[in-house]
Structure 1
């Protein structure tokens, strides 16, 4: 066995090392579980651990020893967001309404991870039903940022991002209905990818009418990877993407091997950037780090134009579409039966009286946003923005009280992410630096319709400009 921890390796390296028997799957699982048990007392990234993880590892070791075929992720420990169903393993959706729920089937992405022989080590903490850009819920302690435990890691895929940043696992699944992969990736200093809508199928998530709350966000939600780099995300997507009859919106996988393009393929690309999408206040440190990233990229790739699709502030649009796609009657009935009051964003959605005119107006507004963006992307291959308008803030809040001297509502710190959910375009957050006090900052890369590989390839180029050679927490 090499004289270092297997958790020092990223997903691509570790999967290769396991196949080559540099470590056994049991050794890797033990290292992952030990680190979770040590660090999670402070971080609260996980809400449920899978007690079968060691048995999963031992089965893989038996097959490898016997020379039997194994999948591409054989023996790799993976974390799964608690909004994603895992058969036989408690899945709460971050809600007291489902505090004892054990699904009778896996989400399709979990089926595919298992078919690839990944080891599911546990479920990661999330906002209640994903309603929120931080990780608050009433079931579990709030997840904390591994870079500074007084701060939030972002959300709603809070636990998945923290698990990657703390190097508990090399791969975690998140879900993203308005930025919930990219936001915590940015605040936690990891890579996060929201694939094209339908690229990674969802079922039963968003589709199973039996479960109010879990069945929401159908036209907005995406499942995708959080990892240490773009190449690892590409490997994960090679496993979990592709169509299924259970998701009528699912589309074919973009590629058989998801190999990333190099600089030569970027020779003639057209890239736009914007600090603010024309309306959003942005923290000066975030803006300066973003500007530096644009200039560094421009130095190797050519002119990058300051331009953006003039869609305006779409925060109200997201709120209305989420309300439209939420089983409000089912949640109200379930909450009344259990004697539980739902609060926060989901509570406000249930309390309000919505009209059909509001919903039809929102659908038309979304069409306007999609059309403006499509026309804009006819002239550009990629759009660059900050991933968030500010770096991480105190863990017990929903957002900073002000940004760049502007007093704002708590949700105003995430103005850039929902656009890609409205349009279904692929988008990722790539680490590009830190604030002066050490809080990570991410760059959002949004690509053309269905150009997942392009987003990953450009992300990998950015990673070379800003190598991620520091990690929070104790050394491995």
Structure 2
């Protein structure tokens, strides 16, 4: 008989299969997850809202469908948590901001609609910083802690989602990523984080609706993707989420891919390049570098042709800053920040609005982004995949806003934490962070796998091959209970 804890660490695809075979009750599963959330989450604060009553009622309804031999979706009865930047019509969407405290949207995000249609049950909302800017310090609900070390950060902005999955508080979570906000938390928390091709998963209202300043920025950068404990679960979620929607003008047509059914492949002869420094623009911690280099040897052992090589790109930090500001709806953001009481405006938002920017700055950023993308497509004419660290460091202490040192050199701004992820966000290529080892102090480290334009399948297949060769899901953080840390500041 499967214990409640084992259910909480069972993969989504296995849970859904057991429910379809009537070997597992959706109510039994939901009760196990809710019990663990109640017991463990006060230590972590991964959630800012848990929908106990609706989730359990939905599980009862899911069980009736199973017993009534009704058609079942691919996520039928599976609990899914949702990052609190993604709209949910029956749960508050606060976005980590005091200005949206108590706000409940009148519509679901497209991805939430699709999860529900596939039979998934929304468990609750996961914690975020103010509008997703930075590590998960939430002024409304409190700070999220890393399950591997409660005195360390899960990063951000999908830190709540990554921490929830790592701690067994549900099998899967929806996150979002504009500069590394899925991949860096996945690296810090030892889970798999998939950032699909830009447009593969439609977004709305988030980033697309100017009625909601703070939520409406990052239109050309943001993507929604899954955080999971297995590659198969991420593929399953992508099958559910992908496909066009008229509310998102950037959404891609559905070519009929079935990522979950097409995971297994032979990597022999695949051409893979890797870098630890973007040709001199980035720095990395020595332990992280050693683990990533070891991961490249795994791909070589699997028959791939692996060599040091990276796209010929300039320092991406100025380009990312310009595009982020261009996407941010600065006029609305200034009005938003002005509504905060004196001295209470989030520092990262204030810093975004502080510089005076010109049309020349914006034009230069757009041109530099074109150059960066051109460097990537030329690179992928030679290589099938690119490997880098997902983050330059392992999880840093919770009281810090970012690493103070990388590779022996001091850090003076937050951009270095996203130095390996932000260029891929600018280019729009599919990418993922996959656990590739643990530091001597027991902290997980992620490998970033980047694919060619729109080649999500290859990223998932390479991830699956690595997962088979170097499995990680058996590693679980031991979250100490009983401290009952305050959920709110």
Q: TM-score, normalised by structure 1?
A: 0.96
For 1:184 and 1:106, how far apart are their aligned partners in 2?
24
Deviation at 1:395, TM superposition (A): 1.1
Deviation at 1:256, TM superposition (A): 4.1
Q: What secondary structure does 2:72 align onto?
A: coil
For 2:355 and 2:110, how far apart are their aligned partners in 1?
34
Moved more, 51-60 or 426-435: 51-60
Q: What secondary structure does 1:52 align onto?
A: helix
Go from structure 1 to structure 2 and tell me whether the alpha carbon gap of 1:227 and 1:414 turns closer, same or farther (over 3 Å shift). Answer: same
Alignment of 1:443-458 (within 5 A): 443-458=447-462
Equivalent of residue 131 in structure 2, options 118, 126, 129: 129
Go from structure 1 to structure 2 and tell me whether the alpha carbon gap of 1:335 and 1:406 turns closer, same or farther (over 3 Å shift). Answer: closer
For 2:283 and 2:341, how far apart are their aligned partners in 1?
41
For 1:165 and 1:8, how far apart are their aligned partners in 2?
9
1:371 aligned partner: 374
Unaligned regions of 5+ residues in structure 2, if any? 481-489
Residue 436 (structure 1) aligned with residue 437 (structure 2): no
Moved more, 395-404 or 163-172: 395-404
For 2:109 and 2:169, how far apart are their aligned partners in 1?
22
Alignment of 1:307-346 (within 5 A): 307-337=309-339, 339=341, 341-346=344-349
For 1:40 and 1:420, how far apart are their aligned partners in 2?
32
Deviation at 1:2, TM superposition (A): 3.8
Residue 223 (structure 1) aligned with residue 224 (structure 2): yes
Q: What secondary structure does 1:242 align onto?
A: coil
Contact 1:97 1:335 in 2 (8 A): no
For 1:255 and 1:230, how far apart are their aligned partners in 2?
19
Contact 1:85 1:106 in 2 (8 A): yes
For 1:58 and 1:312, how far apart are their aligned partners in 2?
55
RMSD: 1.5
Post-superposition Cα deviations, 1:138-158, rounded to whole Å, max 9, x if no partner, equal 112111100000001111100
Equivalent of residue 303 in structure 2, options 301, 304, 308: 301
Equivalent of residue 418 in structure 1, options 416, 419, 422: 422
Q: What secondary structure does 1:193 align onto?
A: strand
Instruction: Report how many aligned residue pairs link the two structures.
Output: 473
Moved more, 443-452 or 279-288: 279-288
Contact 1:2 1:22 in 2 (8 A): no
Deviation at 1:231, TM superposition (A): 0.9
Deviation at 1:352, TM superposition (A): 2.2
Post-superposition Cα deviations, 1:420-447, rounded to whole Å, max 9, x if no partner, equal 1111100000101000010001100000
Contact 2:9 2:170 in 1 (8 A): no
Moved more, 245-254 or 455-464: 245-254
Go from structure 1 to structure 2 and tell me whether the alpha carbon gap of 1:254 and 1:176 turns closer, same or farther (over 3 Å shift). Answer: farther
Unaligned regions of 5+ residues in structure 1, if any? none
2:270 aligned partner: 269
For 1:272 and 1:255, how far apart are their aligned partners in 2?
29
Contact 1:6 1:23 in 2 (8 A): no
Alignment of 1:176-195 (within 5 A): 176-195=177-196
Residue 155 (structure 1) aligned with residue 153 (structure 2): no
1:257 aligned partner: 258
Residue 470 (structure 1) aligned with residue 475 (structure 2): yes
1:401 aligned partner: 404
Go from structure 1 to structure 2 and tell me whether the alpha carbon gap of 1:122 and 1:350 turns closer, same or farther (over 3 Å shift). Answer: same
1:354 aligned partner: 357
Q: What secondary structure does 1:212 align onto?
A: coil
Deviation at 1:410, TM superposition (A): 4.0
For 2:377 and 2:289, how far apart are their aligned partners in 1?
26
Post-superposition Cα deviations, 1:262-305, rounded to whole Å, max 9, x if no partner, equal 343x3332110111112212111001111111112212223201
Alignment of 1:35-50 (within 5 A): 35-50=36-51
Go from structure 1 to structure 2 and tell me whether the alpha carbon gap of 1:312 and 1:398 turns closer, same or farther (over 3 Å shift). Answer: farther
Alignment of 1:243-254 (within 5 A): 243-254=244-255
For 1:180 and 1:250, how far apart are their aligned partners in 2?
20
Contact 1:426 1:448 in 2 (8 A): yes
2:63 aligned partner: 61
1:202 aligned partner: 203
Displaced runs of 4 or more, over 6 A: none
For 2:70 and 2:257, how far apart are their aligned partners in 1?
23
Q: What secondary structure does 2:143 align onto?
A: coil
Moved more, 237-246 or 299-308: 299-308
For 2:339 and 2:157, how far apart are their aligned partners in 1?
26
1:164 aligned partner: 165
Contact 1:391 1:440 in 2 (8 A): yes
For 1:243 and 1:457, how far apart are their aligned partners in 2?
23
Deviation at 1:253, TM superposition (A): 3.1
